[in-house]
Amino acid sequence: MNYFTLKIDFQKLKNEATKTRTAKFLAIGTLVFTGLATTIVENGNYFEIAKNIEIFANLYKEVNTYYVDEIDPSTLMKTGIDAMMESLDPYTDYISETQIEGYRFITEGKYNGIGADIRIIDGLPTVVAPYLDAPAQKAGLKAGDKIVAIDGKDTKGKTSDEVSAILKGYPGTEVELTISRLGEAKNLNITLVRDEVEVSNIPYSGMVSSDVGYIALTTFTRDAGANVGKALRDLKTEQPNLKGVILDLRDNGGGLLAEAVNLCNIFIPKDELVVTTKGKVKDWDRSFRTQNPASDPQVPLIVLINKGSASASEIVSGTIQDLDRGVLLGQRSYGKGLVQNTRDIGYNAKVKMTTAKYYIPSGRCIQAVEYQNGEPVDIAESKRAPFKTRNGRPVLDGGGVKPDIVLDSDAGSNILQTLDEKYVVFNYVNQWMLKNPEVKSLEDFHFTDWDDFLQFLAKQNFDFDTETEKLLKDLKEKSKTGGYLSQADILALETKVVAAKKADIDKHKERISDMIEKEIVSRAFYEKGRIQMGLRNDLEIKEAIKLFGDKAKYDGILKG
């Protein structure tokens, strides 16, 4: 089969498509496939590509025409595309027309909608945090509000993407939400007017001691570098004798590569290599260097990272480490050393595709090479290749950036993660706010109702579904049909697990109280208040301030 045969086959399918309603959808698809066929001749395996495109088109036509139930061609196609993307790496995605606003938010930090973090909790879309001065906050939406209907249509069973697509829309348009609010006997109907929502990538910066400044960067959206530069200037105006700056990149999932380079340029002189990208298309390989004189190449710098720091965060932290410009503190980063580019594929849709790997100044790539359920798997240090920083300090490739000072007070416990992921603390604070509706002062607030929290947990029956509990449930079911363990043995194990969890909760009382305090103050002072409250009990912040006070140790780390 050659190109001309393929084209004739597609044209025939196109003509047949006009005979039936369902086959009309295929006409659009065949034109796309025909266009694709003209572009794949240069790719070495043309025949295999052309053959499989024809098979796919024929399958799509047959299913769309003869399947017993009515189907939505767009949904069917998206399912196929999503499955194809999932067979690649976790970062290559199809972005449909309805998801464009979400893509815009990731790259620009703004979108058109109501301005709220909404997640599915207990089967219903729930307001986790309205953004300050956004339509949701102005209309009176509160954290904990459950959205039971949008414009009169039930939301139960809808996914986060489906809810998000409905709520986003042109500025000035209205949307009516039916809200179930804790403490209210009846549902509330709230009408919101959509608007452009912009979320700052620096929710807070300020002094954390008399001479140490702090900047929190949550995402590398547009102007991230410029905003960090402005925050640094403001800190130096407030304290001309600044002893050091803490740059907080914890849980920063990355963003624009250019902004990572711009941020490095604040602390690193002109014409320093920051990152090199290398991929299949050699003409696309590029090296990115700092373009301007550094804003401050001398100020002592500590960068905070954790397992949620990824992509652009790892470029910045890895470059700072490779050039011995500052000290990294925290936990090993996520390990995303891949570069994504977006390409238009028609009808306002895009494909976000991994096109290269990035390499930081030492020459190492920090990409995690093993995945399980879409998440990177820890790679033993013995399997990671060694490299050296400018001063000769040993560093490793693969599996993320390892801090110079590793702090992990939560190692060995999954209670804190479970309390967060299962929204236990969030749900507790919803109830706590009914009895304590006002938090007047962020600085003076302290959570003192620990026994009340324990009673709340007791009512939840500690149903956290830890990995141990999941194994016990499986063991319990299998023991019913035979085995060496009786139901009494299983019950004894369950009792031990409950006791261990209670001990674990008591052990982490301080950290859990901190989680509760941050959630409470966020209801009145939003994201800025959450960060400010967190700084008060932050182990990494305390260690960073301590390190700035020990210049010999700070310099010694960088000299290796």
In a domain, residue 96? The reply is no
187 and 209 belong to one structural domain: no
- Window from 132-136, 172-176, 474-478 with minimum mean pLDDT: 474-478
- Domain end marker among 198, 231, 265: 198
327 and 438 belong to one structural domain: no
171 and 274 belong to one structural domain: no
> Domains in the chain: how many in total?
4
In a domain, residue 98? The reply is no
Q: Which helix (H) or strand (E) holds 393?
A: none
Contact 305, 248 (CB under 8 A): no
Could you tell me the pLDDT band of residue 187, with boundaries at 50, 70 and 90? very high
358 and 429 belong to one structural domain: no
pLDDT at 108 over 90: no
Q: At what angle do helices 450-459 and 509-536 cross, to 10 degrees?
A: 120
Q: Provide the phi-psi class of 265: left if phi over 0, else alpha when psi is between -120 and 50, else beta.
A: alpha
CA-to-CA dists, residue 171 to 174, 201, 234, 544, angstroms: 9, 22, 33, 43
In a domain, residue 556? The reply is no
CA-to-CA dists, residue 254 to 164, 285, 315, 337, angstroms: 21, 20, 9, 11
Highest mean pLDDT among 91-95, 243-247, 525-529: 243-247
Q: What is the pLDDT of residues 118-136, one digit of tens each?
A: 999 999 999 999 999 999 9
Place of tokens 């990208």: 277
pLDDT at 22 over 50: no
**Longest CA span, the chain:** 81
Residue 111's pLDDT is 77
In a domain, residue 222? The reply is yes
Is residue 336 flagged as an active site residue? yes
Residue 124's pLDDT is 96
Q: What is the pLDDT of residues 203-253, one digit of tens each?
A: 999 999 999 999 999 999 999 999 999 999 999 999 999 999 999 999 999
Phi, psi (degrees; rounded to nearest 5) at 7: -65, -40
In a domain, residue 219? The reply is yes
Residue 12's pLDDT is 44
Residue 381's pLDDT is 83
CATH number of the domain residue 284 falls in: 3.90.226.10
Strands 195-198 and 204-207 come out as unpaired
339 and 404 belong to one structural domain: yes
Highest mean pLDDT among 38-52, 156-170, 240-254, 435-449: 240-254
pLDDT at 344 over 90: no
- Window from 40-54, 132-146, 525-539 with minimum mean pLDDT: 40-54
Distance from C-alpha of 128 to C-alpha of 139, rounded to nearest angstrom: 15
258 and 347 belong to one structural domain: yes
| Rounded average pLDDT over 45-58 | 84
Is residue 311 flagged as an active site residue? yes
Catalytic residue among 322, 397, 404, 538: 322
* Single-letter code of the amino acid located at 358: Y
CATH number of the domain residue 185 falls in: 2.30.42.10
| Rounded average pLDDT over 478-500 | 76
CB atoms within 10 A of CB 166: 18
191 and 216 belong to one structural domain: no
- Domain end marker among 389, 408, 427: 408
193 and 211 belong to one structural domain: no
Is residue 309 flagged as an active site residue? no
Q: At what angle do helices 424-435 and 450-459 cross, to 10 degrees?
A: 120
HSE value, Cβ hemisphere, 13 Å, CA-based, for 396: 18
Chain centre to alpha carbon of residue 287: 26
160 and 231 belong to one structural domain: no
- Does residue 204 or residue 42 have the better pLDDT? 204
Q: Give me the residues paired with residue 215 across strands.
A: 205, 247
Catalytic residue among 311, 317, 362, 522: 311
In a domain, residue 489? The reply is no
Could you tell me the pLDDT band of residue 93, with boundaries at 50, 70 and 90? confident
Q: Give me the residues paired with residue 110 across strands.
A: 198
Chain centre to alpha carbon of residue 4: 46
pLDDT at 189 over 90: yes
Structural domain that includes position 66: 3-71
Residue 489's pLDDT is 79
The per-residue DSSP string of 174-209 comes to: EEEEEEE-TT-SS-EEEEEE-EEEE--S--EEEESS
| Rounded average pLDDT over 532-553 | 95
Residue 463's pLDDT is 62
181 and 222 belong to one structural domain: no
In a domain, residue 166? The reply is yes
Spatial CA neighbour of 244 closest among 323, 329, 306, 168:
329
pLDDT at 398 over 90: no
pLDDT mean across residues, the chain: 85
Residue 504's pLDDT is 83
209 and 192 belong to one structural domain: no
Residue 494's pLDDT is 79
- Here the tokens at position 108 are 């620009």
| Rounded average pLDDT over 441-462 | 89
pLDDT at 116 over 60: yes
Q: What is the pLDDT of residues 288-298, one digit of tens each?
A: 999 999 999 99
155 and 232 belong to one structural domain: no
| Rounded average pLDDT over 259-275 | 97
CB atoms within 10 A of CB 48: 11
Spatial CA neighbour of 536 closest among 453, 461, 462, 442:
442
Percent of the chain with pLDDT over 70: 86
Contact 361, 322 (CB under 8 A): yes
pLDDT at 165 over 50: yes
Rounded to 5, what percent of the chain is helix, strand, coil? 45, 20, 40
Catalytic residue among 158, 168, 307, 336: 336
Residue 100's pLDDT is 61
In a domain, residue 83? The reply is no
Write the burial class of residue 482 (CB in 10 Å: 0-12 exposed, 13-18 middle, 19+ buried).
exposed
| Rounded average pLDDT over 483-491 | 74
Place of tokens 């939301």: 155
pLDDT at 479 over 90: no
Q: Is the dihedral of CA 237, 325, 411, 474 positive or negative?
A: positive
Contact 453, 462 (CB under 8 A): no
Residue 356's pLDDT is 87
Please name the residues in contact with 164: beta carbons below 8 A apart, sequence gap of 6 or more.
Answer: 101, 102, 113, 118
pLDDT at 30 over 50: no
